[in-house]
Amino acid sequence: MSLHPVEPDKLWVIAARGGDRDAFRMLVEQNQRDVYTLAVRLVSDCHLAEDVAQETFVRAWRALPNFRGDSAFSTWLYRITVNTAWTHRGRQKRHRHADIDDVPAIADETRRHNPGHLDETLHLPEALGEALNSLSAEQRMVVVLKDVEGWSHSEIAELLDITTGAAKVRLHRARRRLRTLLADVDW
Amino acid sequence: MNLDRIGAAAASRTYQLRCKGVRMLLPEYIGSSAPLPESIATHLSSCLVCRVEADRLRQVAELLADGRQSSWTPPSTLVDAVMARLDEKVESRFMGRLVVAGAVALGLGVVVAVVATKRSSAVSTAQFDS
């Protein structure tokens, strides 16, 4: 009989499910970077992302007894992160200090004169970060989940509790909106 | 907007796409795994403006996909903050239940008192009338 190696995460998960806080702390330490990174992408605000990451782990702790292990722990945690970011979307602010992609601030004056487009002196990578921030929370979420994270339409639809068709339409509109926002950017 | 239907129409060789239609459909295909319909590919081969538009969308898609490689360093306080909140949550949930239970008891008490007062007042009035 051969012994199958058990993933370290699984051992910690089993212990944490039994209420072992040290084991859960290990899980938080191991997954904090991925959870925080996803949260930053989804909410485009480092402070809010920290709240989302904290809330994600707190929710995970409470839900651990129900975690059946059908998927990897990290995948399960990812879903909680997206759900948490979704419930926090009302708190998202339009901001100029987005650490995401180190985007430089855009003067409000420029925006006022040219509300549908971004500053034409920006280059594409910086402007894309700004354009993402300009999308609605719902639109940014589908773009990030599909085009950055690589989720399928059906996975996005299931998570947002909409039909696959609605997810496709929302993504399509978000991409077109991004393209419009980037119309005047220096390519 | 039914993208599947429009896409299916675009896939048809007989469907002659103009610039406006192509640009509407491009975000659906550029950067995705879906194959570009022949009608769109044909249009792009003969229309420089739409080809530039497709290239720009492709650049955007590539930049977004590149974002997958980057990561952000979480605040050094995150782990401790999470662990502290585990304790706080338990306490606050308990306190929350206590407050709710207290409020319900108080509400019931008020209702009982009001009903009792009304009844006694009704009895007094009936006795006075008789």
Q: What confidence score (pLDDT) does residue A81 get?
A: 95
Domain check: are A2 and A89 in the same one? Answer: yes
- Number of domains composing chain A: 2
Could you tell me the pLDDT band of residue A51, with boundaries at 50, 70 and 90? very high
Task: Name the more confident of A71 and B83.
Answer: B83
CA distances from B69 to A34, A148, B62, B64, B72 (A): 11, 9, 12, 10, 10
The residue-averaged pLDDT of A12-27 equals 94
Mean pLDDT, chain A, whole residue set? 80
Contact B60 A124 (CB under 8 A): yes
**C-beta separation of B40 from B68 below 8 A:** no
Q: How far apart are CA A178 and CA A117, in angstroms?
A: 9
Local confidence pLDDT in tens for the 130 residues of chain B: 555 665 655 555 445 568 888 888 888 888 777 788 898 999 999 999 999 989 988 888 888 888 877 888 999 999 999 999 997 655 555 566 666 677 777 888 887 788 778 777 776 666 656 5
| Model pLDDT, residue A106 | 33
Sign of the CA dihedral B43, B45, B51, B57? positive
Co-location of A89 and A99 in the same domain: no
Q: Does A128 touch chain B (CB under 8 A)?
A: yes
Least confident range from A118-127, A151-160, B63-72, B100-109: namely: A118-127
Instruction: Calculate how close chain B gets to A32, using CA atoms only, in Å.
Output: 7
> What is residue A37's predicted lDDT score, i.e. its pLDDT?
93
- Could you give the ipTM of this predicted complex? 0.73
Q: Are residues A82 and A2 in the same domain?
A: yes
Residue ranges of A 129-148 with Cβ closer than 8 A to chain B: 143, 147-148
A148 and A136, same domain (yes or no): yes
Q: What is the CATH number of the domain that holds A5?
A: 1.10.1740.10
pLDDT > 70: what percent of chain A? 76
- Give residue A43's domain range: 1-93
User: Looking at the complex, does the CB of residue B100 fall below 8 Å from at least one CB of chain A?
Assistant: no
B51 touches chain A (CB under 8 A): no
* pLDDT of A31 strictly over 90: yes
Q: Examine the domain organization and report whether A54 and A118 are in the same domain.
A: no
Q: Which long-range contacts (CB under 8 A, 24 or more apart) does A16-24 make?
A: A16/A61, A16/A64, A17/A64, A17/A65, A17/A67, A21/B83, A21/B86, A24/A61, A24/A64, A24/B83, A24/B86
